[in-house]
Amino acid sequence: MDASPSGRRDVAVVLGTRPEIIKLAPLIRLLGARARVVHTGQHYDSALSGTFFANFRLPAPHLLLDGATGPWGRGAQIGALTAELARSFVADPPRAVVVQGDTNSTSAGAQAAHYCGIPVVHVEAGLRSGDRAMPEEINRLVVGVLADVHCAATERAAANLRATGTAPDRIRVTGNTVVEATLMSLPEPAERERIAREHGTREPYVPYVLATVHRPENTDAPERLEALLTSLAALGAPVVMPLHPRTRAKAKEFGLERLLDRLRVVDPVDHPTFLALADRARLLVSDSGGVQEEATVLKKPLLVVRTSTERPEAVDAGFSRLVEPGPPLVAAARALLDDGDLDERLRATASPYGDGSASRRIHALATALADGEPLPRIEAGQ
């Protein structure tokens, strides 16, 4: 287990959502006694978030903020979190701060560290959708300006950073921690089978589609949500849908609950259960960024119900494609369900997100930065 030169937890890992817990878990475990886990409370539920920490055998957060939730919007939340984090960093300065991805917590963590003169490591740096209407895109751009070390998952992400003037010596292509996080969480085959039968289509088992929907672009417009739910019911295969609280609330608000009756709706599940369901599904349909990456590890076809994606590598590799709800979704899903060679093709396709060593590489970069040492070079296979 790592120990800092000062004996302190001197590498602060700031996170605030469940996907961040998942993707940062392997790094936190490698950091050991050096890791200071700071949960902003952005999406905190003591039961569900606690389950995610337990699944990865992580310590409880060393600092838990209140999330600054309220009716004042993103700007107020990011501002309040930045202030709270800055107070913590002034009171007990870490030697480096790690943030991941593109959430409000990511932006706040990077800003607070930068204003306190603490170097920032950005995990999953360089993603770009080109869509400034996405809150996540603005967060990516902000952190891209502030980070001292950019851990790009792919060469394309690194190229995005270089194109906006980021110094090449501050960029490392590390791969994506989602690869090892997925393999770490995936239950054994017998357990996957049990979970699929329990949550999926029960006995006798039949191939099913696994769907998740939660993004505002799909849930907040009644016409789009209606088209999406109607499309899922028309795929010609059972659809298992762990229902996000946001989606459930919007379906009720818009009077669309009747459409949920045509799907196999289940309560939200933990990460291992979701991966087991995905592994046994014939097709995935989702608007999640993380699922776009996990599909490449599980070798599953995915239809991404979004107008744009910051993860084109999964599309280029043949794992996913963008679709609109309605007839385009139905046509694309039926074509994939009828493709008898699809599974074999995807099994033979490497994930574009690396070989499962990303966390080890990021650990080397974060600890070098914290210790004032030169950043290690990263070559293929290291």
CA gap 300, 284 in Å, rounded: 7
Using DSSP's 3-state secondary structure scheme, residue 180 falls into helix
CB < 8 Å & 24+ apart, contacts of 299-304 = 299/343, 299/346, 299/347, 299/349, 300/346, 301/336, 301/342, 301/346, 303/329, 303/332, 303/333, 303/336
Q: What is the DSSP letter of 164?
A: T
AA identity, residue 341? D
Count of other CB atoms within 10 angstroms of residue 44? 19
Say which residue the tokens 């295969």 belong to: 237
The two tokens of residue 29 are 């475990």
Nearest CA to 148 among 121, 116, 180?
121
CA gap 209, 270 in Å, rounded: 18
Active-site residue, 62 included: no
CA dihedral 102, 53, 300, 133 (to 10 degrees): -20
The two tokens of residue 154 are 């792919």
| H or E, element range at 13 | strand 11-15
Lay out the sheet containing 302-305: strands in order across: 264-266, 239-242, 209-212, 283-286, 302-305, 320-323
Kindly name the residue from 39, 199, 214, 363 that is annotated as catalytic.
214
Residues with catalytic roles: 214
